[in-house]
Structure 1
Amino acid sequence: MPKDTLKTRLEIAKSKITRRNLFKKDEPPSSIGTAFKLSTELVSAVAVGTIIGFILDTTFGTKPWLILIFFFVGVVAGIVNVFRSAKNMQK
């Protein structure tokens, strides 16, 4: 295969990919992807808060108080993150 033919084919492929990517940016994200993102933010905040509470409880021997406190802190942080993300999606 000559060098010019390969170069031409590469340029055609690059232009197709560029056109395809331009069209995808204009499309809104899918509903299921948005729902997955929001639910993941909420669940991860609660999980991180609970894990931090568990570690601190184990360290200080105050079971179950710090687990409960950090669980609710994680819930509040998760809800705030979901509201913030939803607000950004509306823009």
Structure 2
Amino acid sequence: MSDVTCPLRAGDAKKRIRFILNEGWFRFSKHAEGEMEKDELSPADVENVLRGGVVREPEWENGSWRYHVETSKIRVVIAFRDESTLVVVTAMRRNR
């Protein structure tokens, strides 16, 4: 079933994120790379947020379901491409 027509609930998205981090693929969009550089965030910072952050319910934006994953200091926005691939759309420090 496609995520385009059927978004995942936050808990299921968290499980998929963990699966992808362990066994799948994730990449960074050009936009995410620029925002990470601007906010002095490393790929390891983003991965740590994806592993331990709170996943919010998805929002439809620019043709795909976007999931916000947050800690008290960093927000990462991702989109799933398929069951084993995700793209980091953007990442930013919060309250800066």
Task: Confirm or deny a common fold (TM above 0.5).
Answer: no
Provide the TM-score with structure 2 as the length reference. 0.22
- Larger % of strand: which? 2
- Larger % of helix: which? 1
Provide the TM-score with structure 1 as the length reference. 0.23
Higher relative contact order (CA 8 A, sep 6+): 2
